[in-house]
Chains A and B, each alone.
Chain A
Amino acid sequence: MPPAPGNTASQAITAESLTKKFGRREVLHGVSFGIEKGSVFGVIGPNGAGKTTVMRCLLDIIRPTSGASTVLGENPRTAGPALRRRVGYLPGELFLEGRITGRRLLSHYADISGPVRPGRVDALAERLGLDLDRHTRKLSKGNKQKLGLVQAFMHDPELLVLDEPTSGLDPLVQQEFLAMVREAQANGQTVFLSSHMLSEVQQAADTVAILRDGRIITVATVDSLREGAVRHVRLTAAGISASDAGALLAGVPGIGHLEVLPAGDGVELSATLGGAIQPLLRVLATLQLTDLVLQEPDLEESVLELYGTIRGNGGNGNGGTNGAGRRRRRGHGA
Chain B
Amino acid sequence: MKKSAVIFGVCALFAVIAAFTFPGKELPYNLKVGTPEIKSITSLAFGPDGILFIGDSKSASVFAVNTKDASSSELQSINIAGIDKKLAATLGTTEDNLSILDIAVNPISKRVYLAVQSGDGTPVLLSIEGESFVPVSLKDVEFDAVALNNSPAEDAKDGRGRPLRVSSISDLGYADGKLMVSGLSNQEFSSTFRSIPFPFTNAQDYASLEIFHAAHGRYETTSPIKTFTTAEVNGKNYLIASYTCTPLVLFPMDELKAGTHVKGRTIAEMGSGNQPLDLVSMEKDGKSFLVMANSNRPVFRVDFADIEKFQGSLTEPVTANYATEGVDFVSIPMTNVLQLDKMNDDTMVILQRKSNGSLDLWSTEESGNLLK
A and B associate:
no
- Residues of A participating in the B interface, judged by any CB pair closer than 8 Å: none
List the interface of chain B (C-beta within 8 A of A).
none
